[in-house]
């Protein structure tokens, strides 16, 4: 299995087609969605997922207002398709997602990993997709996380985390976030780490560097402009932080990405 592209926190207000071509696709919709294709139409009342074969032709529409979703496109061989079938995960059908605790975190990890050229990257991505399929299989069998086992205030923390990744350049202040939740700053940090395994500050940094990597790969913006777009007041601080986390400078990262595109 080879991952082609990972997109998180996409938004659409109009009907749009699914990914076409030879690639398979996994969509996770956080908001209600209507799926049309092959003369039929289905919809979800809340979060839902769908797995599509390469060449599948269908359209997605928001049910209310806008559609918020994540998408992963990848290539599968016959054995990998059989593995998904054996799990009971259907292709081309909406799967209600009552608990996205696992799926959301796996997708976030995949996106972070995709911006790094690390050893065993392909294996990490393949295993991540398999974990998502296992989670979907659990949803179909009625298995959901026990609410009592979730970290305290999880739904509020998840909303904060999603907002951070949707707006990396925002002024994220843990004191203000804690006050908005009516809790102390120390308690906020403790339950945030308990929920996601990283600190809120680490998520802010990761969201900004993920956004920076996307801009470096897909735009001609200068490094200074990328730093500003990602919420950094100091270009030199951005460059130091980028190299510390990515192992290369922003300019080197862009050059590596351009060479890969030419292969």
Q: Which CATH architecture does the domain made up of 2-140 adopt?
A: Sandwich (2.60)
- Give 230-260 pLDDT, tens digit per residue: 999 999 999 999 998 888 999 998 998 887 6
Per-domain residue ranges of the chain: 2-140, 151-263
Beta pairing partners, 35: 42, 60
Q: What is the pLDDT of residue 117?
A: 63
Confidence of residue 34 (pLDDT cuts 50, 70, 90): very high
Question: Is the Cβ–Cβ distance between 159 and 169 less than 8 Å?
Answer: no
Confidence of residue 143 (pLDDT cuts 50, 70, 90): low
Q: What is the pLDDT of residue 146?
A: 54
* Dist CA 247 CA 175 (whole Å): 31
Q: Which residue has the tokens 């065993």?
A: 120
Give, in words, the CATH class of 151-263. Answer: mainly alpha
- Give 160-191 pLDDT, tens digit per residue: 988 898 899 999 999 999 999 999 999 999 99
Confidence of residue 147 (pLDDT cuts 50, 70, 90): low
Q: Find the helix packing angle between 235-246 and 250-262, rounded to 10°.
A: 50
Instruction: Evaluate if pTM is beyond 0.75.
Output: no
Confidence of residue 65 (pLDDT cuts 50, 70, 90): confident
Tokens read off for 90:
């259907």
């Amino acid at each position: 299995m080879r991952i082609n592209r990972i997109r998180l926190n996409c938004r659409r207000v109009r009907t749009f087609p699914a990914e076409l071509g030879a690639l398979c696709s996994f969509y996770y919709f956080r908001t209600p969605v209507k799926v049309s294709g092959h003369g039929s139409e289905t919809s979800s009342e809340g979060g839902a997922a769908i797995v599509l074969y390469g060449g599948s032709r269908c359209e997605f529409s928001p049910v209310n207002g806008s559609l918020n979703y994540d998408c992963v496109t990848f290539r599968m061989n016959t054995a990998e398709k059989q593995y998904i079938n054996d799990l009971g995960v259907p292709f081309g059908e909406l799967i209600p997602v009552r608990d996205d605790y696992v799926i959301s975190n796996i997708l976030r990890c995949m996106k972070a990993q995709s911006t790094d050229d690390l050893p065993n990257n392909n294996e990490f991505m393949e295993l991540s997709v398999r974990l998502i399929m296992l989670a979907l299989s659990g949803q179909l069998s009625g298995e959901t996380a026990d609410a009592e086992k979730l970290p305290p205030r999880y739904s509020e923390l998840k909303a904060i985390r999603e907002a951070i990744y949707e707006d990396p350049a925002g002024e994220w202040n843990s004191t203000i976030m804690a006050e908005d939740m009516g809790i102390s700053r120390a308690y906020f940090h403790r339950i945030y780490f308990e929920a996601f395994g990283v600190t809120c500050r680490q998520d802010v940094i990761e969201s900004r560097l993920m956004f920076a990597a996307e801009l470096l790969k897909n735009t001609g913006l200068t490094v200074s402009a990328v730093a500003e777009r990602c919420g950094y007041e100091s270009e030199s601080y951005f460059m130091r932080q980028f190299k510390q986390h990515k192992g290369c400078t922003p300019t080197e990262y862009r050059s590596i990405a351009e060479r890969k595109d030419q292969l």
